[in-house]
Amino acid sequence: MKLLRTFQELKSWRLMQNEDVGFVPTMGNLHQGHLSLLETSLSNHKASVISIFVNPMQFGPKDDFAKYPRTLEADIKLCEVLLKNHTKKELVVFAPSDTHEIYPDGFSTVISVPRFDEFLEGAMRPGHFNGVATVVFLLFQMVKPRTAYFGKKDYQQYRLIKQMARDLSLPIHVKGMPIIRDESGLALSSRNQYLSAKEKSEALYLFQTLQHIKQLFAQSIHNYEKVKNYIQKELEIDSRWQYLEVREARRLHSHLPNKGRIVILGVLKVGEVRLLDNMEVELL
Ligand code: PAF
């Protein structure tokens, strides 16, 4: 395994590789969700890169960039353990030592997919998706992967990156990977570590609600009215919801199809923690 701390080092390494590079972009503080992405990349490609970079551009004034957990040593150990099951595979941990490695002095470009700023996470966190799209674009340019792996837990982010790659004709396959949950159903997230034991059990309400809505659809695909009423009531009686919506899955339009994939997305605020989750449903 190689730990690279500068763009120059990454550039030199990349020149020695062929096209078959898999890529997992992260902000570190790795958990099983990230590791499942890396496991897939290691299985599918001769060489893989995992980036660990806490991207200042995607944090708003209310988000705590300074407090975001930075656990590079532990992250590296987890990567090393995973690599043991993949002999003959190459893994690079790209952990820029300084923000300037990604954003050189005077950097003034923004990659934006404006439609995504209008709803759900985009509406709640102004500027967030510009920061995500810009850093992912830059990392794509640096790593030049064949395939990049994103967790579907951040569903809107995953769809945004797919849209950006398509619009800009990037020669990269953006692959969405299943949400990893703990045994109770809670979607794994770096934010879970801030939950007390009591809050952890409260947090399950998010998963249970999404599952309940999924079941309503399973009973009848024409259950939109029932679902709409259920969601409206939930939002009225429980102020912990920041949003709870059903959308068409590919473009995230609010107009729902009669057939095909839809996605139920919710954010529940438990204590100080915003918990995101979603569930895809195939309407047959
Ligand atoms: O999902 C994340 O961890 C980040 O938003 C990403 C994609 C690594 C960009 O900083």
In this model, does residue 85 exceed pLDDT 90?
yes
Strand partners, 147: 22, 173
28 lines ligand 1 (CB under 6 A): no
Alpha carbon of 57 to ligand 1 centroid (Å):
11
Mean per-residue pLDDT of the chain:
96
pLDDT at residue 221 in the model? 67
In this model, does residue 25 exceed pLDDT 80?
yes
Do the beta carbons of residue 52 and residue 93 sit within 8 Å? Answer: yes
Q: Which of 96, 95, 72, 81 is nearest to 39 (CA)?
A: 81
Note if 34 is an active site residue: yes
Do the beta carbons of residue 174 and residue 161 sit within 8 Å? Answer: yes
27 lines ligand 1 (CB under 6 A): yes
- Per the model's pLDDT, the better-predicted residue between 62 and 16 turns out to be 16
pTM value is 0.97
Maximum pairwise Cα distance, the chain: 58
Q: What percent of the chain has pLDDT over 90?
A: 94
In this model, does residue 64 exceed pLDDT 90?
no
pLDDT at residue 260 in the model? 92
Strand partners, 4: 94
Q: Strand, helix or coil at 53?
A: coil
pLDDT at residue 223 in the model? 79
